[in-house]
A and B are shown apart, each in its own frame.
Chain A
Amino acid sequence: MNKKWLKYLFLSVAFGSFLRIDSSQAKLFDVEEFYLDNGLQVLVIPNHKAPIVKHMVWYKVGAVNEPVGKGGMAHLLEHLMFRGTKKVKDGEFNKIVTENGADANAFTSLDETAYHEFADLSRLELMMALESDRMQNLNITQEAFDKEQKIVYQERKQVIENNPTAYFGEMMQRNLWQEHPYGRPVTGTPDEILSLTLDDVQAFYDTYYAPNNAVLVIAGDVDSVAARTLAEKYYGNIAPRETLKNIDFPKLENISSTKTLMKSKDINTSRFVRSFVVPSFSQDKKMSYALSVLSAYLGEGETSYLYKRLVKEEQVAVGISTSYDFAAQSYGRFSISAVLSPNVSSQLFEDKLNDAIKDAMKMLTWDELNIVKNKMLSGIVYLKDNPNDAAYIAGGFALAGMNVDEIQNYDANIQAVKFGDVQQAAKLLENSISAQGVLMPAKGD
């Protein structure tokens, strides 16, 4: 329930975003699940409001799978997936998609790469034909590679480096994660992007793009019987690959906290970030639900504890929010972000924040906890409306390690969080690896 005008206020620094459910009753969605013989997991979310459908393929591969020094490979490959296969030559994919009225795009994150088409129901089979073709027949030419390498370089310049807080954001990511691959930028650095080769990207595709390493999500005007027939028809004959590698993520066991102060001539307002390495859903389900509730209580929305205390009462910040990213193969992340009020020092803000968090946990009552949970769930039925939302959420949750029951019963699992669980979650933050940073204007230098 964010105010639309907040579009003007850049609350967060340039971190990756993630799915957040703002507010339900009843099952989140009706999700039907089945597997093809080749290992492809299929999720179907019927929604018959209009003859339209969202078709998504999520691969369980992302920037974390890149060898050190080869940053940006997963993302460059994502771009090259639009550049032609043995059957569909360069330029044809975009042409076919557009002429058939579909919106096609893709995204890469640390843990996953997803391709999606939103189309009229009559074009679903065409989209499945295109997507299954590029799951197995990608044909990267040197010419296409050279162009797309330059395009992703321009993308990094435009999307990341034109943002004056980006350097700070990437530094905070490195400070928090250190040698863990979550410390790397998904785009790669400019030098890494320019040093990638066609062979690198081809090998990456050959290793990770396979039906047994993917989840197909179909949300829209279809039932599971039709979806199964079509999934078999288009994806059923793609051979699984045996070459998948599991990553040995480093264990982060030395509890440390870093503090960074960065001054920049390019900015006029001070930003504060404090992030914690915490369990993800895949590592600790119970703790994960508790951390979600804790985040909603502390800093999601204008009725949250930290907003009321630090923005409204003490006026040391003009905006504050918390977020918990539970969707990860390895650790999750809990973050507090704020924009400080003018003339408030970072030390004063930090002291006020620490006091506020302590008091928040003292003030939390059973009644208050129920109000928080209800805030998270009261509008969850809205997520059944748009098939695009359903596909993103179901796919994202599935890749985070949720089974169908857990996706459908998200609300019941939030409701089951106990008072003691939230207190434990808060204790956990105190004993976690953390990185804090303040980005301040450098005046008169």
Chain B
Amino acid sequence: MVRRIYHKKSSKVPAVLKLIAFVAVCALLWLVGEKVVSYFGFNPQKINENSMFKNTTFHADVKEIITRDGIKAYYLRDTNNPIISISFAFENAGTAYDDKGELGMANMVAALLTDGAGKYDSDAFKTILEQNGIVISFDTDKDDFSGLLKTLTKNQKLAAKMLKLVLSEPRFDSEDIERVKSQFLTALQQQKEYPQSQFGLFVNKSLFGNHAYGHNPIGEASDIRHINAQKLNDFVKHHFTRNKLIVGIVGDISEDDAKRLIDDIFADLPETGMQVFVPEARIDFATRQEAMNFKAAQNMAAFVAPSVKRDNPEFYPLYIANEVFAGQGLNSRLSKAVREDKALTYGVYNYLSLADKAVMMRGGFSSTPENFDEAKKIVTQEWAKMGAEGVSEDELDAAKGYLLSSFNLRFADIDNISATLVAMQKENLGKDFLLKRNAYVQAVTLEEVNNAAKKYFDPQNLVWFNLISVQSK
């Protein structure tokens, strides 16, 4: 169309006019060209540069507070809503610390604590919480026993009283114990129905053998049947102690009130209890294939490899290498290769697992049997390529781009923030971690990332576990 106009203008006109026309046409072309580019092109950088909102790093000024009774906690004031969230953990009281013959104990305690305390039976206790918008919940992982208290600022005194009662005078009424036992035994039965659960148990057992990390995360049926009120109370006495306690508090509460609230809840806990020793897990990373059969719609793969602890100087470099390899979204090398390009699976992942007694990289995917070997082959190739070639400057920039520009997203949820304050203390990251974290990321060099990639993405240290689907159990 442009050419046609040009032709029309080009006949029987003086040179000067031709020149003017030429200039005019060039201007027109330029304008049209600009339109064409803006129509067909999409320029993220330009959109960001012209954005109404500029990048603002959220300044999370976490304080370390020490209460009158000497309890240390991390505290962040957030007055956006009249609510308070307290996360806490008793370290080294998780499922791996259950005594032999009592596997399931930590979970049973977590389940039963909100079934009444002091003079309130289960129903009375739960009704008080519900009627006042108070959330008290407990959870376990392999390492720690954790808890959450969430309350409206106006109900903080009642909330503190109820949590204190739970930690000091749990009831463990026999009818509640029996009910929760039957729920756990049912959960164990259901665990046998799901291929994903069975595969998880198989991987745990193969990896950790007799180490406490190899236990069934729910517990053992024969042990659960023998748990009684005395044993539950012993657990509380042994583990709910000030020397194991970590506390993070966030919300619409002043520093002085936060200190008082923490004392009201935790100050009367005994200073020490019982220390249980769990050794480091010794894991054989020599490359191999292990397999189980199960009736399922897909095969499943899990792969593990050596990694580093959170305080190791190689942590950030390896973390960034893995961000390129298998990080967020569908843009990672692994997601592109196995899912986006070859459509072999719905999803593939790999992450740095940071349990206290075993760090490793853990990945996995599932796919129908006809795709399975090809998907495994591609993961192995990508693994070897990462080890041999590392990442490019562009990939490093992109990974840092993600880690830096996603930083503020962690401040969406008050319970996540209080849990982060607990994690910062557990990992000894310091109260200024949230102010320094982006600098840590920025400081990582290409050489550091590629050295870590070379060391840890080693095909000789990549162990595979497979669930092979069969027609019947």
Report A's interface with B, CB cutoff 8 A. Answer: 1, 3-5, 8-10, 23, 47-52, 82, 86-88, 91-92, 94-104, 118-126, 129-130, 133, 146-155, 157-159, 161-165, 221-222, 226, 229-230, 265-269, 301-303, 308, 311-312, 315, 318-319, 339, 341-342, 371, 374-375, 378-382, 384-388
Contacts and interface: CB of A to CB of B under 8 A. Distances in A.
25 contacts: A3-B111, A4-B110, A4-B139, A8-B217, A9-B190, A99-B331, A99-B402, A101-B409, A121-B53, A122-B53, A122-B56, A126-B51, A151-B345, A154-B343, A154-B366, A159-B346, A164-B193, A230-B52, A266-B473, A268-B193, A308-B123, A342-B186, A374-B130, A379-B150, A381-B83
B130 A303 contact: yes
A341 B183 CA distance: 9
Contact of A94 (B54, B122, B331, B343): B331
Chain B at the A interface: mostly helix, strand, loop or mixed? mixed
A378 B131 contact: yes
Given A5-B111, A378-B130, A384-B81, A226 B52 contact: yes
Interface string B121-155: 01100110111111101111000000000101000
A248 to B, nearest CB: 34
Contacts of A47: 80
A378 to B, nearest CB: 4
A164 B123 CA distance: 34
A51 B56 CA distance: 7
Contacts of B135: 1, 379, 382
A108 to B, nearest CB: 14
B327 A98 contact: yes
B298 A154 contact: yes
Contacts of A379: 133-135, 150, 152
B329 interface: yes
A311 B40 contact: no
A98 B473 contact: no
B105 to A, nearest CB: 13
Interface in B359-378: 366-368, 371
B401 A269 contact: no
Interface residues of B, number: 99
A222 B342 CA distance: 40
B195 interface: yes
Contact of A23 (B127, B130, B187): B130
A165 B409 CA distance: 36
A380 B132 CA distance: 11
Contacts, number: 285
Q: Which of the listed residues B127, B135, B193 has the most CB atoms from chain A within 10 Å of its own CB? A: B193
A419 B222 CA distance: 48
B364 to A, nearest CB: 11
A304 B402 CA distance: 45
Interface of B: 39-42, 44, 47-48, 50-56, 58, 78, 80-83, 107, 110-111, 114, 122-123, 126-127, 129-135, 137-140, 150, 152, 175, 179, 182-187, 189-196, 217-218, 295-298, 327-332, 336, 339-347, 366-368, 371, 398, 401-409, 411-414, 472-473
Given A103-B406, A122-B55, A86 B186 contact: no
A9 B187 contact: yes
A22 B247 CA distance: 26
Contacts of B78: 49
8 closest A-B pairs by beta carbon, nearest first, are A101-B405, A101-B406, A161-B297, A378-B133, A379-B133, A150-B343, A50-B411, A147-B343
Nearest to B404: A101
Contacts of B150: 379, 382
B408 A51 contact: yes
